[in-house]
Amino acid sequence: MHRHDSLVTLQAHILEQQSRFPQASGTLSWVLSALSISAKIIANHVRRARLDDVLGSVGNENIQGEQQQKLDVIANEVLLRTLGKREGVAVVASEENEEPVMLRQVGDGKYCVLFDPLDGSSNLDVCGGVGTIFSILRYDNPAHSENGWLQAGAKQVAAGYVLYGSSTVLVMSIGMGVDMFVLDPAIGAFVRVAEQLQIPQHNKSYSLNEGNRLTFPIGYNRYLDWAQANGYSSRYVGAMVADIHRILLKGGVFMYPPTKKAPHGKLRLMYEANPMAMLIEQAGGKAMASPDQRILDVNPTAIHQRVPVIMGSAAEVDHVLIHLTTQG
Ligand code: AHM
Ligand code: MG
């Protein structure tokens, strides 16, 4: 059995980090604890798939024009209900809702929480990994009152994801490195299993939907030719949280390039690309939208906007970028 020097729960970890900032009000800690409770409730629903009637579509399309799965709706409601109770939250924005929901007047709430409640939900039918992704922005400046959530990812105060895989894992950052927790179902608490994660600098592994290869910009195909000639492996779950979790732990590069069907890529900037980019960079990796555009510097113009994604080990990302810019 693996032994830890000391057992630190997520709750204790958050209080520990908060105590390093004597002036902190504890508001962010309350928001993070709401996310942790949501994760436990959603994990419980995911684990009961097929025992309870939670699979399949509800027959509606969400704002993205995608079929909503029953569990998408359940997870969204869990997050809205749990975060709605926290006074520090002024606004929540979800992949599943057309417009952000204002919970309180600016000034009363301090944060905007953006999330994808259940990313990769089509994997649920086959017992594959799915996840919740979240991004937290400051929202206490009255000058920001209109569309104040449209801030570049570099301004995130916290970001993270929960992977409902063979175990339930929560990975997050408040801008001081990346820490990892596993839900211990016996005690109902997330227990810290790793601190200050660092992404491996190299791994000959790429992760993207190669089925779209014929409609990628040419540079991606130059990269794939090079990678395949150089002994790279392909690993793609098709659920961003599961793919990024693997890359964070083992290295490699994850991509969602522009395609004919999705000319700006498929992934959403505000609640998929930005939080993952913060985690990857905090772990020493690199996250780019194009050779000269860091994801975290993209200035958003719409809550559901999409962005191409190239992220992972810095050296592996660079191998992609060089093929996008040269005949390499
Ligand atoms: P979703 O938010 O509708 O679940 O879609 C996002 C998912 C990501 O998890 C994953 O990286 C991507 O879509 C996979 O797309 P594709 O099936 O085109 O490869
Ligand atoms: Mg998603």
CATH code of the domain containing 211: 3.40.190.80
pLDDT value, residue 104: 78
- What is the distance between the alpha carbons of residues 194 and 25, in angstroms, rounded to a whole number? 26
Instruction: Please compute, for residue 134, the number of CA atoms within 13 A of its CA located in the half-sphere on the CB side.
Output: 31
pLDDT digits (tens, 9 = 90+) for 11-34: 999 999 888 887 788 889 999 999
Q: Answer yes or no: do 221 and 140 share one domain.
A: no
Q: Does 104 reside within a domain?
A: yes
86 by Cβ neighbours in 10 Å (0-12 / 13-18 / 19+) ranks as buried
> Which atom belonging to ligand 1 lies closest to the Cα atom of 241?
9
pLDDT of residue 20: 86
118 and 176: one domain? yes
Distance (angstroms) between ligand 2 centre and the Cα of 120 equals 6
The confidence score (pLDDT) of residue 1 equals 52
Upper half-sphere CA count for residue 28 (Cβ side, 13 Å): 23
Q: Whose CA is nearest to atom 2 of ligand 1?
A: 119
67 lines ligand 1 (CB under 6 A): no
Statement to judge: residues 148 and 248 lie in one domain: no
Looking at the CA of 123, name the nearest ligand: 1
For residue 200, being part of any structural domain is answered with no
Cα–Cα distance measured from residue 303 to residue 151, given in angstroms and rounded to the nearest whole number? 10
Q: What is the pLDDT of residues 225-276, one digit of tens each?
A: 999 999 999 999 999 999 999 999 999 999 999 999 999 999 999 999 999 9
Eight-class DSSP state of 213: G
Whether residue 189 sits in one domain with residue 243: no
Expressed in angstroms and rounded, the spacing between residue 273 Cα and the centre of ligand 2 is 10
**Closest CA to ligand 1's atom 5:** 120
Nearest CA to ligand 1 atom 17: 238
* Residue range 304-322, pLDDT digits in tens: 999 999 999 999 999 999 9
- Burial environment of residue 38 by CB neighbours within 10 A (0 to 12, 13 to 18, 19 or more): buried
Count of C-beta atoms within a 10 Å radius of residue 65: 6
Residue 313 belongs to domain spanning: 205-325
Pair 30, 104 in one domain:
yes
Instruction: Tell me which of 46, 95, 209 to substitute to probe ligand 1's pocket, judged by most ligand atoms within 8 Å of the beta carbon.
Output: 209
| Final residue before a domain boundary, out of 148, 169, 194 | 194
Whether 199 is in a domain gets the answer no
Q: Cα(116) to centroid of ligand 2, in Å?
A: 5
Q: For residue 142, what pLDDT is reported?
A: 58
Ranges in the chain, pLDDT < 50: none
DSSP string, 151-183: --GGG-SEEEEEEESSSEEEEEESSS--EEEEE
Sign of CA dihedral 193, 198, 202, 204: positive
What pLDDT is stored for residue 259 in this prediction?
97
CA–centroid distance, residue 262 to ligand 2 (Å): 14
Q: Which atom of ligand 1 is nearest to the CA of 262?
A: 18
Place of tokens 């079929």: 67
| Residue 86 and residue 214 in one domain | no
Query: Are 282 and 296 within 8 A, CB to CB?
Result: no
Using most ligand atoms within 8 A of CB, pick from 267, 305, 310, 311 the residue to mutate for ligand 1: 267
DSSP 100: P
Residues 39 and 171: their CA atoms lie apart, in Å, by 12
Return the pLDDT at 69. 86
- Give the N- to C-terminal CA distance of the chain in Å, as an integer: 48
Taking the centre of ligand 1 as the mean of its atom positions, its distance from the CA of residue 240, in whole angstroms, is 6
Q: How far apart are CA 209 and CA 11, in angstroms?
A: 37
Domain-ending residue, one of 175, 194, 213:
194
Query: In whole numbers, what is the pLDDT of the chain averaged over residues?
Result: 92
Whole-number pLDDT of residue 108: 61
- Ligand 1 center to 99 CA (angstroms): 21
Kindly compute the dihedral angle of the four CA atoms of residues 261, 221, 306, 288, in this order, to the nearest 10 degrees. 180
Whole-prediction pTM = 0.94
- Nearest bound ligand to the CA of residue 134: 2
Decide if 142 is inside a domain.
yes
Is residue 57 within 6 Å of ligand 1 at its C-beta? no
Are residues 155 and 223 part of one domain? no
The total number of structural domains that make up the chain: 2
